[in-house]
């Protein structure tokens, strides 16, 4: 795949149904200032999370609130469900994949009891980050509107 200019584009899809919000609006400077990576964020409508990419699961945090992927074309993608949700120590989170698993766009990866997380006082906004963007080209995020799983939310050119 590629374009006339020889620049390949990689698409990162929405891992959950919801409303897109710009990373800059996420109430956590680590994400808002793109310290961990560039991308987009989603205010999820349900707790069914799927893989945003075709590739391999690289990491499932013990607390299950974050999952890292390596795409077949070398992008490192991190999904981080909620802010400070590491403090829940896995409560309300059920991982459906393990490190080393091959995934397609849409493979179920995580079930989250969003109401439970919210009731404990946590923001469930979910950043989707390209963590190795420095070694790549442009990261173009679509950061508004309603999305459903499988919709393209981030394009990485080059």
Catalytic residue numbers, as ranges: 80
Residue in 8, 88, 12 with CA at minimum distance from that of residue 54: 12
Cβ count within 10 A of residue 75: 21
CA distance 90 to 155: 31
Question: Which residues, in sequence order, are CB contacts of 119 under 8 Å at separation 6+?
Answer: none
Q: What is the dihedral of CA 134, 145, 41, 94, to 10 degrees?
A: -130
Tokens of 91: 């409560």
3-state secondary structure of 85: helix
Contact 142, 2 (CB under 8 A): no
The alpha carbon of 104 is separated from its chain's Cα centroid by a whole number of angstroms, namely: 14
């Amino acid at each position: 795949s590629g374009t006339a200019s020889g620049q390949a584009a990689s698409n990162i899809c929405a891992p959950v149904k919801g409303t897109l919000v710009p990373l800059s609006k996420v109430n956590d400077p680590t994400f808002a200032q793109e310290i961990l990576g560039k991308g987009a964020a989603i205010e999820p409508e349900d707790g069914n999370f799927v893989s945003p990419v075709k590739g391999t699961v690289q990491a499932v945090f013990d607390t299950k609130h974050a999952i890292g992927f390596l795409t077949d074309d070398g992008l490192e993608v991190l999904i981080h469900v909620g802010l400070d949700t590491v403090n829940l120590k896995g409560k309300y989170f059920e991982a459906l994949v393990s490190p080393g698993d091959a995934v397609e766009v849409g493979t179920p990866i995580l079930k989250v009891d969003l109401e439970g997380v919210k009731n404990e006082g946590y923001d469930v906004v979910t950043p989707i980050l390209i963590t190795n963007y420095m070694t790549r080209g442009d990261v173009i995020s679509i950061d508004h509107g309603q999305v459903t799983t499988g919709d393209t939310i981030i394009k990485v050119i080059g």
